[in-house]
Chains A and B, each alone.
Chain A
Amino acid sequence: MTTSRNGTANDTPDASPDSGGHGYSGVPRWLYLPAAVGALFVMLPLAAMLAKVNWSQFIPLVTSAASLDALGLSLRTSAASTVVCLVFGVPLAMVLARRPFRGQRLLRAFVLLPLVLPPVVGGIALLYTFGRQGLLGKTLELAGIQIAFSTTAVVLAQAFVALPFLVVSLEGALRTAGKRYEAVAATLGAGPTTVLRRVTLPLVMPGLASGAVLSFARSLGEFGATLTFAGSLQGVTRTLPLEIYLEREADADAAVALSLLLVAVAVAVVGLSYRKPGRQVAA
Chain B
Amino acid sequence: MRNAFRKAAALLAAGALAAGIAGCAGKPGPANSPADGNASVARALSGTVTVYAAASLKETFTELASAFEAAHPGTKVMLNFAGSSDLATQISQGAPADVFASADTRNMARLSDASLLDGGPRNFATNVLEIAVPRANPASVSSFADLPKPGVKVVVCAPQVPCGAAAEKVEKATGTTLKPVSEESSVTDVLGKVSSGEADAGLVYVTDVKTAGDKVKGIPFTEAAQAVNTYPIGTVGSSKNKDLARAFIELVTGSEGRKVLADAGFGAP
Contact = CB atoms under 8 A, between A and B. Distances in A.
Interface of A: 47-48, 51-52, 127-128, 131-133, 148-149, 227-228, 230-234, 237-238, 242, 245-252
30 contacts: A48-B1, A48-B5, A52-B2, A131-B196, A131-B197, A131-B198, A132-B197, A133-B197, A148-B153, A149-B153, A149-B198, A227-B185, A228-B189, A228-B192, A231-B181, A231-B182, A231-B183, A231-B184, A231-B193, A232-B183, A233-B180, A233-B181, A233-B183, A237-B182, A245-B185, A246-B160, A246-B161, A250-B85, A251-B160, A252-B89
A232 B158 contact: yes
Interface string B8-30: 00000000000000000000000
Contacts of B125: none
Contacts of A47: 1
Most buried by B among A128, A133, A234, A237: A133
B237 interface: no
Contacts of B198: 127, 131-133, 148-149, 231
Contacts, number: 74
B197 A232 contact: no
Contacts of A52: 2, 5
Given A232-B183, A232-B185, A233-B182, 14 more contacts: A51-B1, A127-B198, A132-B197, A132-B198, A133-B196, A149-B198, A227-B184, A230-B182, A231-B182, A231-B193, A231-B198, A237-B182, A246-B161, A250-B160
Interface residues of B, number: 24
B3 to A, nearest CB: 10
B155 interface: yes
Contact of A234 (B161, B183, B185, B192): B183
Contacts of A128: 196
Nearest to A250: B160
Given A127-B198, A231-B155, A246 B185 contact: yes
Contacts of B196: 127-128, 131, 133
Contact of A249 (B85, B181, B182): B85
A40 B189 CA distance: 35
Most buried by B among A52, A230, A233: A233
Interface string B126-168: 0000000000000000000000000001010010110000000
Interface string B176-203: 0000111111000100110011110000
A51 B182 contact: no
Nearest to A128: B196
Given A51-B1, A51-B5, A127-B198, A249 B193 contact: no
B83 interface: yes
Most buried by B among A52, A133, A232: A232
Nearest to A238: B183
Contacts of B83: 249
5 A-B pairs with least C-beta separation: A231-B182, A250-B160, A149-B181, A133-B197, A148-B198
Nearest to B193: A231
Nearest to A247: B160
